[in-house]
Amino acid sequence: MAPVFYLFYMLCLNLSLLCVLFVVTWNLYWRGGFAWDGSLLHFNWHPVLMVSGLVILYGNAAVVYRIPFTWKQRKLVCKLVHAGMMFVALLLSVLGLSAVFDFHRGFNIPHLYSVHSWVGLSTVLLFSSQWILGLVGFLLPYSTPWIRSSLKPVHIWIGKVILVFGLVSCISGINEKLLLTLNGMIAVPYSTLPVEAVFVNFLGILIVAFGMSVFGILFVKKWQRPEDGPESTHLLLSEGTP
Amino acid sequence: MAPVFYLFYMLCLNLSLLCVLFVVTWNLYWRGGFAWDGSLLHFNWHPVLMVSGLVILYGNAAVVYRIPFTWKQRKLVCKLVHAGMMFVALLLSVLGLSAVFDFHRGFNIPHLYSVHSWVGLSTVLLFSSQWILGLVGFLLPYSTPWIRSSLKPVHIWIGKVILVFGLVSCISGINEKLLLTLNGMIAVPYSTLPVEAVFVNFLGILIVAFGMSVFGILFVKKWQRPEDGPESTHLLLSEGTP
């Protein structure tokens, strides 16, 4: 089974790299690069951080338990890697939100008016709640086996919901940015498909393809990490932790 | 288990009704109603048909096997209901695409330039392939049990992928329509959140909530239809079909 898994996983990793490369190139080459000073360049961190954090790092953190070579590690190590990657993903997402709020303030643009922003903010709020719930339910020593076994399916389901929300937010955001930016340039409106538009539309396709590769990996039952030992050994600071 | 299922299912049905009601009201009350004459009103069929067909009817067809009272029916009946509902969903989606292509032709707007249109067209193409594959693999008598058991997980996975793509397409499309329409009206741009914008943003939230209710129903293993009898009795025109 492992070779087929690694084929899927390599696809997932390659799509990850391509998505990050594309979103950085877009903002570096066509949108003038980056700054953190309330200027137009301040906005450019928003797509880069949301795509890299909320979708790419999030998706990679979601499949970390499925990588067969990690099965030799204790489950607590995997949990910590999963929680750590998710924490960085959440941090990047919050920074990405902060970039767009700062940019709006600098240009007196109202916050949170589009359906993209409503779904996007819901995604980050859901993600924050999920991370805290995950920490309390699966890592802190006060959690009981009953809590963990009841929470696990909910955690997995909400985890997938967040990825779907993340994909919806990214594609609607990319569409919004191209409409607002390119349609402001009379010479090359979005509908004439300048090179930037084709490049960024293709980034959109790469992002949904990445999402589907993650869902593909999560979908196959036999790629799940085999259960090893009693759950009590998999909590932080619990008696069973060596 | 059934009461919890029916609670979820009622939520799913209520969200279905609300989504259709909201998308029709939007286009009837704020966008001037419907026509099939290449005018601006011709476009209004696009959101109504895509939301109703590609998301709402599609999602309802996806969960039809999970409704406990259908388990008393032979599996072939369920398959035919599922395939029939999916066929109507596909028909509505193709009509919805036709509405936007006709509208573009009428106003000399280029086709397929936005990332919304790229993801949307991919969704309908994937849906068409899935329907044909489903017909050949699960209903026509030439299909073998080996083909059906191999195809089933792929069919289920692609089915979920299409729903995710459908959600991405609808939300990015709604965002695009509001940006293009409201920002063309100097008095009430999208960023001032006129009543129409709040109403339609809320439609967006209802659509993603509907998608999540469908994924919730599909996620719970114990809500799956129990297997009944050999697969050979579940094909059209096969010897086992009474």
Tracing tokens 């299909």 back to the chain, one arrives at: B143
Chain B interface, best mutation among A114, A115, A178, A195, by max B CB count within 10 A: A115
- The verdict on a CB contact (< 8 Å) between A175 and B115 is yes
Q: Which residues of A touch B192 (CB under 8 A)?
A: 110, 113
Identify the structural domains of chain B with CATH numbers, from first to last: 2-225 (1.20.120.1770)
For chain A, say whether B160 makes contact (Cβ under 8 Å): yes
For A170-192, what is the mean pLDDT?
92
φ, ψ (nearest 5 deg) of residue B185: -105, 105
Work out the pLDDT band at A187, boundaries 50, 70, 90: confident
Task: Give the per-residue SS3 of chain B.
Answer: CHHHHHHHHHHHHHHHHHHHHHHHHHHHHHCCCCCCCCCHHHHCHHHHHHHHHHHHHHHHHHCHHHCHHHHHCCHHHHHHHHHHHHHHHHHHHHHHHHHHHHHHHHHCCCCCCCHHHHHHHHHHHHHHHHHHHHHHHHHCCCCCHHHHHHHHHHHHHHHHHHHHHHHHHHHHHHHHHHHHHHCCCCCCCHHHCCHHHHHHHHHHHHHHHHHHHHHHHHHCHHHCCCCCCCHHHHCCCCCCCC
Whether the Cβ atoms of residue A120 and residue A169 lie closer than 8 Å to each other: yes
Spell out which residues of chain B touch residue A190, defining contact as CB-CB under 8 Å. Answer: 113-114
User: How is residue A140 written in tokens?
Assistant: 């802190």
Flag whether residue B2 sits within 8 Å of chain A, measured between CB atoms: no
Cβ of A175 within 8 Å of Cβ of B178? The answer is no
**Residue A184, Cβ neighbours under 10 Å: how many?**
9
B157 contact residues in A (CB cutoff 8 A)? 215-216, 219
Contacts 24+ apart (CB under 8 A), B26-33: B26/B196, B26/B199, B26/B200, B26/B203, B30/B196, B30/B199, B31/B181
Q: Is the pLDDT of residue B222 over 60?
A: yes
Q: Under DSSP, is residue A220 helix (H, G, I), strand (E, B) or coil?
A: coil
Are B115 and A219 a contacting pair at CB < 8 A? no
Nearest residue to B101 via CA among B92, B93, B110, B91? B110
- pTM equals 0.95
Q: Do A117 and B197 touch, CB atoms closer than 8 A?
A: no
CB A241 within 8 A of CB A235: yes
How far is residue B117 from each of residues A41, A175, A184, B89, B172, measured CA to CA in Å? 28, 10, 20, 18, 9
Which chain A residue is nearest to residue B194, measuring alpha carbons? A113
Query: How close A238 comes to chain B (CA, Å)?
Result: 31
Residue B17 touches chain A, beta carbons under 8 Å: no
Q: Are B114 and A178 in contact (CB under 8 A)?
A: yes
- Torsion from C-alpha of A55, A56, A62, A68, nearest 10 degrees: 160
User: Residue B63 and residue B218: Cα distance in Å, rounded?
Assistant: 7
Determine what percent of chain B is predicted with pLDDT higher than 70.
94
Decide if pLDDT at B186 tops 90: no
Give me the pLDDT at residue A230, please: 55
The DSSP result for A128-164, as a single string, is HHHHHHHIIIIISTT--HHHHHHHHHHHHHHHHHHHH
Phi, psi of B31 (to 5 degrees): -105, 10
Q: How confident is the model at residue A150 (pLDDT cuts 50, 70, 90)?
A: very high
Q: What amino acid occupies position B12?
A: C
A 171-190: CB under 8 A from B: 171-172, 174-176, 178-180, 190
pLDDT of A56 strictly over 70: yes
| ipTM of the prediction | 0.95
How close is the nearest chain A Cα to the Cα of B218, in Å?
A: 10
Q: pLDDT tens, A60-72?
A: 999 999 999 899 8
* Segment A3-23, tens digit of pLDDT: 899 999 999 999 999 999 999
Q: Which residues of chain A have a CB within 8 Å of the CB of B182?
A: none
Q: Give pLDDT, residue A237.
A: 67
Of B167, B180, B190, nearest to A113 by CB-CB distance is B190
